[in-house]
């Protein structure tokens, strides 16, 4: 089936540094999403993105977070600066319309 890729699979970073998580969505998809899952907890919606713009974002999507998809390449989540509570697995997803979302394998982020 359709595949979403995420790079890197793991990232360890010192608190205060910047990190960029990359998502390669399904090629013809138009909607893109980021989710955060702290170990052992449920997945939480962060943001969705369509037509070059953020459509909706949750309270978890702090001012230090930003998303973009320059020139139809990777859909990225940037955190600057990082904080300890940002340690989690971040999942990217994409959908063609407002329908089935396909998820990537996640990026495990550890902030020290």
Partner 1 sequence: GQQVQQSPASLVLQEGENAELQCNFSSTATRLQWFYQHPGGRLVSLFYNPSGTKHTGRLTSTTVTNERRSSLHISSSQTTDSGTYFCAIDPNTNKVVFGTGTRLQVLP
Report in angstroms how near the CB of residue 47 gets to partner 1 at its nearest: 9
Report in angstroms how near the CB of residue 71 gets to partner 1 at its nearest: 24
Give the burial class of 78: count Cβ atoms within 10 A of its Cβ; 0-12 exposed, 13-18 middle, 19 or more buried: middle
Pick the binder of partner 1 from 32, 74, 101, 109 (CB under 8 A).
Answer: 101
Taking CB under 8 A as the rule, does residue 38 contact partner 1? Answer: no
Rounded (10°) CA dihedral 103, 105, 106, 108:
170
Taking CB under 8 A as the rule, does residue 24 contact partner 1? Answer: no
Q: Which helix (H) or strand (E) holds 45?
A: strand 44-50
Each residue 46-85 as x (binds partner 1 by CB under 8 A) or -, in order, gives --x------xx-x---------------------------
Give CA–CA dist 99/67, Å, rounded. Answer: 21
Number of residues that bind partner 1 (CB under 8 A): 22
């Amino acid at each position: 089936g359709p595949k979403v890729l995420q790079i890197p699979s793991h990232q360890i970073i010192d608190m205060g540094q910047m990190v960029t998580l990359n998502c390669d969505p399904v090629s013809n998809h138009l909607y893109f999403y980021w989710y955060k899952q702290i170990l052992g907890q449920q997945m939480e919606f962060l943001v969705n993105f369509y037509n070059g713009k953020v459509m909706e974002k949750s309270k978890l999507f702090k001012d230090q977070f930003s998303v973009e998809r320059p020139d139809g390449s990777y859909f990225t989540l940037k955190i600057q600066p990082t904080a300890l509570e940002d340690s989690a697995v971040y999942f990217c997803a994409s959908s063609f319309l407002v329908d089935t979302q396909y998820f990537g394998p996640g990026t495990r982020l550890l902030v020290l």
